[in-house]
Chain A
Amino acid sequence: MLMRMIPPRDGYGKALLRLCAEDSRIVVLDADVAKSTRTIWVKEQFPASFIDMGVSEQDMIGTAAGLAMTGMIPYASTYSAFLTGRAYDQIRSAVCHDNLNVKMAGAHAGFSVGPEGAIHQSLEDVAMMRVLPNMAVVVPCDALQVEKAVYAIRDVPGPCFVRFGREAAPVVTDADTPFEPGVARLIRDGGDVAIFANGIMVYEAIKAGEMLAVRGYTALIADIHTVKPLDAAFILSAAEKTGAVVTAEEHQKSGGLGGAVAELLSENAPAPVMRVGTDDIYGESGSPEDLMRKYGLTAEQIVASALAAMAMKRRG
């Protein structure tokens, strides 16, 4: 099957143009990477709604906090690694502590910025953002969902972090696919194993579902785009139905989607959980595809994890 490929960051730029056209409260901030994050489109078409803060991530977040205090809705944008790492204290104490209505976009997330090397690759951002009180965390699966998510969070009061990739990536939804923050999206029903994925790993999970079907297993596949607040009812019901769970994300195994699902299940409905993600390790330079393969972010790895989870279930 030939997939349609669109850079997820294009979805960010498109949503911002729509928001700026209809809402005078929107202010888009960037930290000197406007071309990369596509906020340059806002700069060109709505210059009054755009501020380039220069190479100053901490100052950008503080400024966004001040704007939010006056009723504006700032979208602060830069590479996810620098947004969440460099400005962590500002996000924690100036934004989340006061539950301010600041939207934060982590672009070039995961391995999508591959050739730049490990420092640019954000594989810890979801964990760091998820632990902050008041913060919502959304990891959309393709460019269309990025666009819908960035638009939708305007109407969800409070801080929100959205992360997405740089390179053209498979489009696995269409214009009519619904998106609601905090509501998991069932892609395929099944009874043997539940696969919870987000971001670019949704595409790999769909492929894994087909590979498992060939082996005679039916996999329930869901897009858990909102890591916080987690759709607990959906996840618990899917885990109870299948009794075996796999999570898949372009992120460290700890602290992200895998961590959130494991925490929820261990307290409410214990079931074997196998996590697909990077394993407590930094990346390196390389194409995103090569990095995904080398570090185990593949459909094959999801299949292997599903088989392991089902074996654990059988052992009881």
Chain B
Amino acid sequence: MAGLYFTGIFKCSPEYPDAPGRDRFIMSKGHGVPALYSILSRLGFFGREHLKSLRKIDSLLQGHPRYGATPGIDFSAGSLGQGLSVANGIALGYRRQGLQGRVYCLMGDGELQEGQIWEAALTTAQLGLHQVCAIIDNNHVQLDGSTASIKKMEPIADKWRSFGWHVIGAQGHDLDDVQRAYRAAMAEMRRPSVIIAETIKGKGVSFMENNCEWHSNAPTREELELALTEIREERSDPAAKMGVAVHHGLRLKERA
């Protein structure tokens, strides 16, 4: 998401969040919305003071993204597997009206277990909606454990390729690599593109990495301090370059 919003690739202005023909970001894996809220507030879609009201009554920031409630949010998610169909519909509407906007749709690898995504993937390819760019957050973990142990989704790239998509691999924690992937998607003018971003859930925090216990839990104050320290250390340590190692195993560390 940072690769989209902080690099000028994503065309949408906080001054005109409802501009027709703007690029749209469909966060199909809606549970990840706190990260998007953080980005939107930094870009000025709404004030940073709202971040503290997340999930509280009368808040601008709902627990899952709510279209129309929050500036910059383009889709109401929560029921997994629905975003790509909506992205297709937006792209069709743009095409019909001669608008140039692109539509990005972020999905989780566990979310790919929803059948509607594959209905939608067929539609995108059938209608040649090259303005649609899907992104798979391939972190290999879902709520009940590792994706491989519950319902194996690999080989994900082969699946999308066979559905008629232009498949692009990327290291999800490497900003340069993610930008390269977005630009490759933009250059494809015939087929829809899917970026399969290898990621590590809880990247950079030893007790969170690949641990599905942290899927939606909030850290305590001490855990937060520790996590921020570890992230800062990793950032300054050239040996731990972001996005190099992808650890597929599942470490079920107990919460500290």
CA gap between A259 and B116 in the complex, in Å: 33
CA gap between A281 and B188 in the complex, in Å: 53
Task: Indicate whether A63 sits within 8 Å of B76 (C-beta atoms), given known contacts A54-B122, A72-B96.
Answer: no
Query: Taking the nearest CB of chain A, how far is it from the CB of B174, in angstroms?
Result: 31
Task: Indicate whether A27 sits within 8 Å of B67 (C-beta atoms), given known contacts A65-B89, A69-B90.
Answer: no
Interface residue? A15 (CB, 8 A): no
Among B85, B97, B127, the one with the most A-chain Cβ atoms within 10 Å of its Cβ is B85
A24 partner residues in chain B, CB cutoff 8 A: 96
Query: Taking the nearest CB of chain A, how far is it from the CB of B112, in angstroms?
Result: 15
Residue from A27, A71, A90 within 8 A of B85 (CB atoms): A90
CA gap between A70 and B95 in the complex, in Å: 10
Residue from B78, B89, B127 within 8 A of A67 (CB atoms): B89
Query: Taking the nearest CB of chain B, how far is it from the CB of A231, in angstroms?
Result: 29
Residue from A51, A64, A93 within 8 A of B76 (CB atoms): A93
B88 partner residues in chain A, CB cutoff 8 A: 59, 62-63, 66
Contact A58 B116 (CB under 8 A): yes
Interface residue? A36 (CB, 8 A): no
CA gap between A151 and B74 in the complex, in Å: 29
Residue from A53, A71, A93 within 8 A of B93 (CB atoms): A71
Chain A residues 192-206 with CB under 8 Å of chain B are: none
Contact A63 B20 (CB under 8 A): no
Interface residue? B120 (CB, 8 A): yes
Interface residue? A171 (CB, 8 A): no
B67 partner residues in chain A, CB cutoff 8 A: 69, 98
Task: Indicate whether A94 sits within 8 Å of B86 (C-beta atoms), given known contacts A70-B20, A89-B79.
Answer: yes
Contact A62 B89 (CB under 8 A): yes
Q: Which residue on chain B has the smallest CB distance to residue A100? A: B67
Interface residue? B94 (CB, 8 A): yes
B122 partner residues in chain A, CB cutoff 8 A: 54, 56, 59
Among A24, A67, A89, A99, the one with the most B-chain Cβ atoms within 10 Å of its Cβ is A67
Contact A63 B85 (CB under 8 A): yes
Q: Which residue on chain B has the smallest CB distance to residue A94? A: B82
Among B20, B87, B116, B127, the one with the most A-chain Cβ atoms within 10 Å of its Cβ is B116
B99 partner residues in chain A, CB cutoff 8 A: 70
Residue from A54, A64, A65, A70 within 8 A of B97 (CB atoms): A70
A93 partner residues in chain B, CB cutoff 8 A: 76, 78-79, 82
Contact A58 B76 (CB under 8 A): no
Mostly, the B contact residues are helix
A interface size (C-beta, 8 A): 30
Residue from B76, B92, B97 within 8 A of A66 (CB atoms): B92
B92 partner residues in chain A, CB cutoff 8 A: 27, 51, 63, 66-67, 72
Interface residue? A97 (CB, 8 A): yes
Contact A62 B90 (CB under 8 A): no
Task: Indicate whether A59 sits within 8 Å of B20 (C-beta atoms), given known contacts A66-B85, A70-B97, A90-B85.
Answer: no
CA gap between A24 and B98 in the complex, in Å: 12
Interface residue? B68 (CB, 8 A): yes
The interface bits of chain A over 37-73 (1 if a CB of B lies within 8 angstroms of the residue's CB, else 0) are 0000000000010010110101101111111111110
Contact B76 A59 (CB under 8 A): no
The interface bits of chain A over 147-171 (1 if a CB of B lies within 8 angstroms of the residue's CB, else 0) are 0000000000000000000000000
B97 partner residues in chain A, CB cutoff 8 A: 70-72
Chain B residues 83-116 with CB under 8 Å of chain A are: 84-94, 96-97, 99, 115-116
Contact A94 B76 (CB under 8 A): yes
Nearest 7 interchain pairs by C-beta:
A66-B89, A62-B85, A70-B93, A59-B119, A63-B89, A56-B119, A66-B86
Having A61-B85, A63-B92, one finds 7 other A-B pairs with CB under 8 Å, namely A54-B119, A62-B84, A63-B88, A66-B93, A69-B24, A69-B67, A93-B79
B residues near A (Cβ < 8 Å) are 20, 24, 66-68, 74, 76, 78-79, 82, 84-94, 96-97, 99, 115-116, 119-120, 122-123, 126-127
Offer 15 A-B interface pairs, CB within 8 angstroms, sorted by A. Answer: A27-B92, A27-B96, A48-B96, A51-B92, A58-B119, A59-B122, A62-B120, A63-B86, A64-B89, A70-B94, A70-B99, A72-B93, A94-B86, A97-B76, A99-B68
